[in-house]
Structure 1
Amino acid sequence: MSAPASRPRLVATDLDGTLVRSDGSVSPRTAEVLAAVEALGVPVVFVTGRPLRWTEVVFEHVGAHGLAVVANGALVWDVAADAPRLERGIDVDTLRSVAADLRAAVPGTTYAVERLDGIGLEHAFRERHPVPDGARRMSTEELLAAPVQKLLARHEELSPQDYWDAAEAAVGDRVTITWSSSTTLLEISAFGVTKATTLAVVAEGLGVAAEDVVAFGDMPNDLPMLAWAGTSYAMDNAHPSVREVADHVAPDHDQDGVASVLASIFDL
């Protein structure tokens, strides 16, 4: 674990498997370090694949800048205003054509969608997390009737990598496909929408260049962000593809790895 040559001007961190522990908590030590970094005038931006409803639980740790990149870059949320700052969703025509072509190429595919107002699911989609109150089960036609932040595609038989490869071959030139789950669940965003491209917009708005950003992640959906940032850390528990791309390796997320690195970088 080594520090960048110069002190970063922005910290970008994934949540699950990175900043957040296995029990879903942000440890007191991590919270203290984040607050100390913010007090130095360095924004800490959460950059997550989580939908808004799962990100709100950590908003108490968002600093004065008040921004979080949500849903793999499909949404920038202004915490102070409790409103979207930027939305980058999939339009209906693309959504319908991609869903049809992926299902034709890989039978057994089922879908759910994430919108600003929550999740919608096909009747056959097997959600691994508790379905929130107000979520609707519906037909494919109803599900794909309006723009979405993310199209979620699940397969119950293929491995995540095999499914990703098949999906890329079928529709990858029209959308951006990634995954961050231990199950075979693909997260499909509008073409060119990644954690990196949306973080770049946020950083520009804060007057920070890519080379002045330090980023942390653990799963394939973090790869674009880690490649974009001037300094990158894979968590010790990260997917092998993430460890290959990152400049450095941070301790495990259950050992407060992000906090340990930040404390070293900023002499806390």
Structure 2
Amino acid sequence: MTKKMIALDLDGTLLRSNNTISDYTVDVINRISKQGHKVVIATGRPYRMALEHYKRLQLDTPMISFNGSLTHLPEKKWSKEQNVTLDKKYLLGTLKMSETIQADFIASEYRKNFYITLNYPNSINPALFGVHKITENMRMDVDKITRDPNALLMQTRHEDKYQLAKELRKHFDYNVEVDSWGGPLNILEFSPKGVNKAFALNYLLSALNMTKDQLIAFGDEHNDTEMLAFAKTGYAMKNASETLLPYADKQTDYTNEEDGVAKELEKLFL
């Protein structure tokens, strides 16, 4: 069998709602990896919040995080690492609009840390950032904005996060990608123009001397549209957002809560 690259989103796709991966899923992915297929995490999460799942799956492949901004080998040096950052002027511009866009918080994400506005501290769930508590040293101050971030994250009280995402893309003259998170949270994430999971996968396929005909992808939300459209076979989860379905070739028979990815992979490869 031709070796495949299998790109897996995390939240709403591989992960259950309690942020875990079942032993069954780990076993299926390990068996597929031993066949020589490349299982790759492709997530909108910051790297630091995806690493534990990478280790749980015992992967040795490059990881894609920040919605495609960072493609690298976790905890190793890799000559083909790709790290694309967002000009900090877009962070400064978003901060100026924070009340207009009804932002509960705006956060700048870097590989190993983040800064966050604390105007509405009670609206912040620390678990979104992989920490137990938001502390004062995480506060966003203009004098801390000395580096271009990998991504921005914001939570809004706006009644329609999809409409707000469109308005923000237009406001920044379409020089920034703005996508929504899945589920009930009104979360938007900003990436550099042209950067998404498909962008990173295209780069990674080339780096590993593979073609997109070898790519299978699984996702559930708006930020997976380009990835599923790009892949030879794109699977939307049974629990996927309606916005994703037109971009998918197939839909899984089971949800993320039911190990939908592992059950589909078992049918395909085992």
Aligned equivalents of 2:15, 2:102: Cα separation in 1: 35
User: Paired residue for 2:47?
Assistant: 52
Aligned equivalents of 1:172, 1:207: Cα separation in 2: 35
| CA drift at 1:99 | 4.7
Deviation per residue, 1:86-143 (Å, 9 max, x gap): 211112234434554x548635574111012212101225322336268634355235
Aligned equivalents of 1:106, 1:215: Cα separation in 2: 33
User: Paired residue for 1:22?
Assistant: 17
User: Paired residue for 2:218?
Assistant: 216
Deviation per residue, 1:59-109 (Å, 9 max, x gap): 221433x31101111112312517893211112234434554x54863557
Which of 124, 127, 141 matches 1:127?
124
Identity level (%): 25
Judge conservation of contact 1:13–1:216 (CA < 8 Å) in 2.
Answer: yes
Aligned equivalents of 1:172, 1:25: Cα separation in 2: 39
Which of 261, 264, 268 matches 1:261?
264
Judge conservation of contact 1:44–1:62 (CA < 8 Å) in 2.
Answer: no
User: Paired residue for 1:115?
Assistant: 110
The structure 1 segments of at least 4 consecutive aligned residues displaced by more than 6 Å after TM superposition are none
| Residue 69 (structure 1) aligned with residue 69 (structure 2) | no
Q: What is the count of residue pairs matched by the alignment?
A: 260
Q: Aligned in 2, Cα 1:134/1:156: closer, same or farther, shift over 3 Å?
A: closer
Matches within 5 A, 1:90-105: 90-97=86-93, 99-100=95-96, 103=98
User: Paired residue for 1:238?
Assistant: 240
User: Paired residue for 1:38?
Assistant: 33
Deviation per residue, 1:3-24 (Å, 9 max, x gap): xxx8661100101110111221
| CA drift at 1:158 | 2.6
Judge conservation of contact 2:102–2:157 (CA < 8 Å) in 1.
Answer: no
| CA drift at 1:178 | 0.6
Q: Aligned in 2, Cα 1:110/1:134: closer, same or farther, shift over 3 Å?
A: closer
Q: Which consecutive residues of structure 2, in runs of 5 or more, have no partner in the other structure?
A: none
| CA drift at 1:163 | 1.8
Aligned equivalents of 1:179, 1:134: Cα separation in 2: 23
Judge conservation of contact 1:105–1:170 (CA < 8 Å) in 2.
Answer: no
TM-score, normalised to structure 1, is 0.87
TM-score, normalised to structure 2, is 0.87
Judge conservation of contact 2:105–2:124 (CA < 8 Å) in 1.
Answer: no
Aligned equivalents of 1:211, 1:148: Cα separation in 2: 32
| CA drift at 1:161 | 1.7
